[in-house]
Structure formats: C-alpha cells, structure tokens
Chains A and B, each alone.
Chain A
Amino acid sequence: MVGITGYGAYVPRLRLSRQAVYDANKWFAPGLRGQAKGERAMANWDEDSITMGVEAARDCLNGTDPKSLRNLFFASTTLPFKDRQNAGVIATALTVEEGLMASDVAGSQKAGTSALISGLTAAKAGGPTMVVAAEKRSTRVASANEMQFGDAAAAMLCGTDKVIAKLVGHRSVSMDFVDHFRGEESDFDYTWEERWIRDEGYAKIVPPAIKAALAAANLKGADINHFIMPALMAAIPKQMAKMSGVAEAAVRDNLGANLGDSGAAHALVVLAHTLESAKAGERIMVLAFGQGLDVVILEVTDEITKLSKRRGVSGWLARGKVETNYMKFLAFNDMLPIDKGMRAEFDKKTAQSVLWRKRDMIYGLVGGKCRVCGTAQFPKSQVCVNPNCHAIDSQDPYPMAGLEAAVMSFTADSLTYSPDPPAYYGMITFPEGGRFMADFTDSDKEQVKVGAKMRMTFRIRDNDQMRGGFKRYFWKAAPA
C-alpha cells in the first residue's frame, strides 16, 4: 500500500492586509473594493520558494530521518533558479543522503499535484519520497492577483510504511487550455476572461476527469468526504463538486480569508490543512487545474491518529503578523526602486568552490561534536574550540538546524544595509553547545530579548543581483 506518510506546511509570518492594498490603490482600481478584506500571506524579504519549501519539508519530516529519503520532488512555477536544481538546494538543507533522486517540477498550476503523483509512484517503486511544493508569485500593482495570491508551501512524505492516507487512484488529463500564462519575458501572469475560463475550461474539462477517476476507483461522488480544488473564482469548486455529485459540505475552504492562493503549491497546502483534522476512513479528492487536470483520490487510515504533532497550516497561520504597510510589500518584492544607499552596493559574489566545500555547514547548518570532550560547536573545525580540549581532527558532523537556541546578546543595527531595517542580529547559544553570531528574522522589538528562545530557519542571506540573482542561503534565528 502506497500513500502519504506525513505532511507539513509553511506559511510566512507576514499577512498583508488587503484593505491596505486597496487603500493604496483605490485611486486607480476602485473595483478592488470587494476584495479588500482579510489578509494574504506575504513572504518576508528573505523568503522564496526554496526557503518556504525547506520549512514545509522540515515540518513534514518532524523527526523522520532525512537520510531515509530516496527521492525528492519540488514543485513550483516560481523556482529561484532556471538552471541549477532547486530541489537539490532543498535536499542539501534537509541534510539528505547524496544518493537521492531529486527533480524540479514546474510549468503549470498543477505542478504540485503532478509532483505528488510522481512522488507516490516513486515511493511505490523504491523508498520514502518527499514532495515539496512552494510558490511566491509576483503580481502587478493594483491587480486582482495581488489580492488573490498568497505565498506558502506544503510537503508530503510518500511511502509504503505507516501510511496515513493511502492512494486510491489518480487520473490526469493534459490539454493546452491557456487560461493564463507567464512568458519568459514577464514576471507576471496574463489572464484571459473569467467567464470563458469557467464555461469552456472548468465546466468542460473538470467533471469528465472526476467522473473517470471515480469510476476507475469504483467510487461515487458522494463517497468523497473532502473535495480540494484551488481556484481563483470562489464559486468554481462548489460548482464542480455539484456537477460531479460531490456533496457541497465536502468542498474544502481554500483559505482565501488569511492566506490566499499559493498557486502550484495550493492543492497540497489545502491537503495538508485537510489532513490536520481528517478521520480514518474519509476519502479525499485533490484536484489541480492547469493545462488539464490532475485528480488524486486518497483514503485516510487509522495511522493518522499516531502521527506526531506538527505545526501544519493551522500552526503557521496562528503565528501571523498583519502587515499594513503596502510599501513594504512592494519593496520586499523588488517592485519599488527604493534608495538602498551605498552600503547595499557591496559585492555579493559567491565563491562556488567555497560553497561546495562548506555545503553541509552553510546549507545544512551542520556543526561538529568533539569525540574527546563532547563539545558541540559551529562551525565544525579541525581543532576543538573547547579551551580545555583543543583535540585535533576529533569532530563528528553535528546537525544543528533542528536545535533550539537562546539569545545571548543582540542589537538592532540601523547602520548596516538591510531590506527591513533595523537589522536584528546577535550571539545565539545552543544549550547542548555551540554558538554563533546570527542574523535574526521575523523579529520584532518586543520579541528579541536576552534569553529569548530562537528557532533556526533557512533564509536568503543575500541576492547577488550583479550576477543575475544568485541567492545566498543560510540559517537565521527567528523567535521560537
């Protein structure tokens, strides 16, 4: 039996107030008024699809040994790198074994579900498979998409052992129906008329595919307890459910109120949210529409009651902070030619040879632990840092990303360049040993105190815009 063995999610802490978006843009687009309620998830300046994907995957692993993974699929239409495997960055950050098949899945709003189908198939053939989906889409100022979209990630662990939701069946159709597109020369979607998409797209493509999927699984629409279908038009999921004989009550909320639509990741985000409360025996249908349709039918098993607690969508949603500064949203998304000052000009060229040698340290936050004195330290070094030890070549790799740290000293620096000044940083210490001067993120004045507990999070450190946007990733400390 193959299926989902674990789930995880990630929602950035910031939630952009749609009222604030409307207030800033109503002079130009008064028609947005109807959408001016609730919030959309907004990535911090140091978050992208890779960093959010890493967080969702960590939430999903939640104690599972990353070295047990055999495959990793990463789905997104907003991959930070066009040529450099994005899934490989996530894999390194998770400290997987190098003998792993990693693959990026992109190009369509159904990339997330396509990756899930690939993941389930791969898991059936050979070992635990991580499926990660994340999205951070740029939108034009004062567009409907700016209101509708949200940044988020989800992860599904697929396998054959301790399955919490078994795969009942899946069906895909592929057709070049272009409801919207994003060409190579644009950062933004270009969308055709909604009425056409509804009548010629959804209404004609979705119900037959659902019908076929149900028939193959020997099920009826009424057998579906949770119907997951992301769509920007709010009425569509209910309409499709009705056309397919699925009860209206089964249609899952798309989290529009305080998250927004996370594109290629969204079906898995809503699936993760559904799994938080799904009961054994319930059937889940997951759909994603984009140049065709993916349909995945799952059945929840008893194992779900034994799954370890994770943050999930609800946990991350609960730590939100409403952002009412629309200018900040624009600046974070490079939509505002803000005066960064000369300190932003320092060269951020990365020596790839150094990054390669130190990949475990930089991407995995792997320190060292001395076999002689037991001292944990970061970075791992050849001579033990303990002043009473100084043993040579005595350290084993010691992963620290999952450990909680505490603030020893800190400052709020207004001099250094930061996209979100002042820059908070400080010395963090790990109770088991080890410390370093770390940048803080997702931090407010009230949260940063001596002794405050911090959680490590994988973030963008710099963006080398001189060389086409090489993102430097490293770990930062965020209030736990």
Chain B
Amino acid sequence: MAKGIKDKVAILGMGCSKFGERWDSGAEELMLEAFKECIADAGIDMKQLQAAWFSTAIDEVHVGKSGIPLSTTLRLPNIPVTHVENMCASGTEAFRGACYAVASGAVDFALALGVEKLKDTGYGGLPGGRGGPLQALWSANGTAPGNFAQLATAYQTAHGVSDEDLKRAIGHVSWKSHQNGAKNPKAHLQKAVDMETILKAPMIASPLGLFDCCGVSDGAAAAIVTTPEIAKALGKNNIVSVKALQLSVSNGSESGHNSWDGSYFHTTRIASKKAYEEAGIKDPRKEVSMFEVHDCFSVTELVTMEDLHISETGKGWKDVLDGFYDADGKIPCQIDGGLKCFGHPIGASGLRMLYEMYLQFQGRAGARQLKDPRIGMTHNLGGAPRENVSSISIVGRYDS
C-alpha cells in the first residue's frame, strides 16, 4: 500500500524571476533569472542535476515544444528534460515530476522549472484560439473571464447571494491581494487599490470587472529537490519538505451531466481531501498556516476556499468579508499578492506559489513574513469551472 509523498522530498533551493511585462526579456532570460537564484540557493553544481521537468503551457507563443528549450538555455548536461503541460497546473506538475523522481530513488537531484512569456502577442489577455479541430466547431466563443464569471452566477444562484454581497466579497478578495502584493518586490502589480476603484472598474465579463481578473505577465520560477537526508548532509537548516501532491482532473461529468450546478469545483474538493489525507492533516482550518490559491479571478479564490474545506459551503463570502484570509486574519491567503499581483505566466505560477511558501518557512519573506508558519498549501486550477485540472501541494517544515 502506497504511503504517499509525505516527507520523502525536500526543497533544496528555489528561484523566481521578477514577474511583469518583461519587455526586456524573452523566455530564455526569464528561465535563467529564476535558475541562477535557484542553483545558488541550492548550493550544488548544475552538473549534479540528474533530471529536469520543464513546464510551459502556451509554448506556441514563446519557446516551442519539448524539453530542448530548457536544456539549451541552461546548457544542461544532456540529462532527461521532460516538457510538462497541464494548463494552469503546469508549474505544480513539473514540481510533482521532480519530486516523484527523487522519491522513487531514481535520482538525487531534480530540477523543476516553469516559464511563460505571454507579452509578445500584441494584445491583452491570454492568447486564444486553441483547443483542437473539433472543439473549434462547437465550443462557445468564450474567454477565461467569461467562463469563471459563470461560477459567480451559479454560486449566487446556489446560495442565494445577492449581487451586492457577491461584488463586495470578490472585491475584498482582490483588495486583500493588492495590499499584500504592494509589499512584494517581485510582483507585477505592487500597488494597493482602494475598494471604490475595484467596485467601479469596467466590466470584463459580467459580473467580473477589471480588478476581479488577474494580470497577464511574464515570469519564471524554479525548484531543485532532493531527499531530506541529502539536504541535511549538505548542511541545510530549516528544511522544507513536501507533505502532499495531488491532482484531480475532470472526466466530463461537470460539463456533460446535469448533476453539477456550476457553483463549485468538483475536482478541487477531491484533490484537497486526498492531499489532507496524504499530509495527515485532520482539521485544515486549524492546521494550515497559509494558502497560495489559484486566484485567476477573484470569484475563483472565494469558491476555492470552500472547496479546500476551509470555509463552509455557501459561507465563504462571509469569511472573506470578515477578513479571515487577510494578511492579519486567521489564515492568510495570497500573502505574496497572488495571481492578482503576480499575473499568471501559466507554466511558472505553481512554482511561484511554492517559492513564497519556501521563503515563509525559512523566515526570508521580508515585509510579508508571517509568524511561525508550519504548513502551507498551494493550489492551481487549470481550465474552466466545468472542465479543469486541480492541483494541490502541501509543503511544510520538515520538523513539523
């Protein structure tokens, strides 16, 4: 019987580029920016890397396919490099690949690096027009904001939440992340925004306004993983270990079967439950110190906090308004500013979230440092509410 990943893998080093509209950089420069910090932090030589996982989701607008772009950019020593794409969970998937390689005993040191260079398309928002030749013939002419806006409509319908209450709650989600992002020098948007500006912003896809949507930016993040034993042998203190890695993928029931009401993420409920089990967490609302969740849109975060079994179903909006997830609340969520302030370079986001966890556990988060965090959870949601991949990772202090 498999026992799961708990404490079998340690993060040896991490790096993260400055996120933003990096007109100065291509994907290659971003990769190297994250990697240089990561390898220096790990304190090993590049030649010691035995395998790498490379995540990028919309590779057709920047590096192209395969593991070659990473291998070539870093001049890796002809080791296995696997290109990973699983929509917005891509970064976490690269991390999972690297962790599994270490946990299996196949390698001692593995690299996970994610990058996305989105700002060479000439327009705002994510590049569109993908999905294959059949989907192009029938799926609605939608965008990400339009798909997630419907989560809001359905959530309101399911729980009888008024337009005003919903707007205030999702507005608070974004307000809180902007407060946090203002303290993060690597964030794309480092500005606090007042509630009035948020509520009066132009509509993108009703009911989501401009500030309900995360930015689109360029960025890269990387992690080198090994076993806790090797990390110790290398003289590392404050070791951060992996407690759980879960992924749940829609099988079409939400989009095709009338049992789903559109108000929640079926996959996130499953993945988070399994992750708590894997990590041995009984009462997440008490045990988890911080969250980095996939706030591609404000309403996504709101609903996700219910599906992670932290807020009661249908009551998450009240927790949000009560400040439960604020920096000074019970469980800070998006203490680094989230996708809201970092933007969402798809292949990098999952690793960027882990980077913040890693800094927090090591007491290196500067102005954002939380007091004595023990357990943290990251979450990515790729796709649309009706059809998605939901990835969860739980990391924490090795000694906790």
Contacts and interface: CB of A to CB of B under 8 A. Distances in A.
Interface of A: 341-343, 346-348, 350-351, 354-355, 358, 361-362, 375, 377-379, 381, 385-387, 408-418, 422-423, 425-427, 429-430, 433-439, 450, 461, 472, 474
Nearest to A347: B129
A411 B203 CA distance: 11
A415 B145 contact: yes
Given A350-B136, A427-B150, A427-B386, A437 B142 contact: yes
Contact of B153 (A342, A350, A411, A435): A411
A414 B137 contact: no
A354 B205 CA distance: 31
Nearest to A439: B140
A414 B134 contact: no
A348 B137 CA distance: 9
B146 A434 contact: no
Given A377-B256, A386-B257, 4 more contacts: A342-B123, A411-B150, A425-B142, A437-B384
B150 A429 contact: no
Nearest to B213: A415
B140 A437 contact: yes
Contacts of A416: 128, 141-143, 146
B123 A414 contact: no
Contacts of A411: 145-147, 149-150, 153, 205-206, 208
Return the 5 tightest CB-CB contacts between A and B, nearest first. A346-B129, A413-B146, A409-B150, A351-B133, A411-B149
20 contacts: A354-B137, A358-B137, A377-B257, A381-B252, A385-B252, A385-B256, A387-B251, A387-B257, A409-B153, A409-B157, A413-B146, A414-B202, A416-B128, A418-B141, A426-B150, A434-B256, A435-B255, A450-B154, A472-B136, A474-B138
B204 interface: yes
A346 B122 CA distance: 13
Nearest to A358: B134
Nearest to B128: A346
Contacts of A387: 251, 253, 257, 259
A435 B256 contact: yes
A385 B143 contact: no
A412 B256 contact: no
A435 B258 contact: yes
Interface string B248-290: 0001110111110110000000000000000000000000000
Nearest to B256: A385
B204 A437 contact: no
Contact of A474 (B137, B147, B256, B384): B137
A413 B149 contact: yes
A262 to B, nearest CB: 29
B262 A408 contact: yes
A414 B141 contact: no
B80 interface: no
Contacts of A450: 153-154, 157
Contacts of A427: 150, 154, 255, 262, 386
A425 B146 contact: yes
A412 B137 contact: no
Nearest to B257: A385
Interface of B: 121-123, 125, 128-129, 133-134, 136-143, 145-147, 149-151, 153-154, 157, 202-206, 208, 251-253, 255-259, 261-262, 384, 386
B205 A413 contact: yes
A419 B153 CA distance: 24
Contacts of A434: 256, 258
Nearest to B252: A385
A168 to B, nearest CB: 46
A396 B149 CA distance: 34
Give the interface centre of B137, B140, B153, B205 by most chain A CB atoms within 10 Å: B140
Give the interface centre of A351, A361, A409, A417 by most chain B CB atoms within 10 Å: A409
Contacts of B123: 341-343
Contacts of B202: 414
Give the interface centre of A423, A433, A437 by most chain B CB atoms within 10 Å: A437
A332 to B, nearest CB: 16
B372 to A, nearest CB: 41
Contacts of B121: 342
Contacts of A430: 258
A378 B256 contact: yes
Give the interface centre of A354, A415, A417 by most chain B CB atoms within 10 Å: A415
Nearest to B139: A437
A343 B150 contact: no
A385 B255 CA distance: 9
Nearest to B155: A409
B319 to A, nearest CB: 23
Contacts of B255: 427, 435-437
A409 B262 contact: yes
A361 B256 CA distance: 14
A210 to B, nearest CB: 49
Contacts of A426: 140, 150, 153
B122 A342 contact: yes
Contact of B125 (A350, A412, A415, A423): A415
B257 A437 contact: no
Contacts of B140: 425-426, 437-439
A169 to B, nearest CB: 46
A354 B133 contact: yes
Contacts of A410: 150, 153
A415 B146 contact: yes
B142 A472 contact: no
Contacts of A354: 133-134, 137
A28 B192 CA distance: 54
B137 A350 contact: yes
A429 B386 CA distance: 13
Contacts of B261: 408
Give the interface centre of B134, B204, B257 by most chain A CB atoms within 10 Å: B257
Contacts of A418: 141
Contacts of A413: 142-143, 145-146, 149, 204-205
A456 to B, nearest CB: 12
Contacts of A437: 139-140, 142, 147, 255, 384, 386
A412 B141 contact: no
Contact of B253 (A378, A385, A414): A385
Contacts of B205: 411-415, 422
A100 B138 CA distance: 26
B154 A408 contact: yes
B149 A429 contact: no
Contacts of A429: 258
Nearest to A387: B253
Contacts of A346: 128-129
A341 B125 CA distance: 13
Contacts of B129: 346-347
Contacts of B208: 411
A298 to B, nearest CB: 41
A419 to B, nearest CB: 10
A415 B150 contact: no
Give the interface centre of A343, A413, A461 by most chain B CB atoms within 10 Å: A413
Contacts of B258: 429-430, 433-435
Contacts of B253: 385-387
A438 B140 CA distance: 5
Contacts of B157: 409, 450
B138 A361 contact: yes
Nearest to B122: A342
Contacts of B137: 350, 354-355, 358, 362, 461, 472, 474
Contacts of B206: 411-412, 422
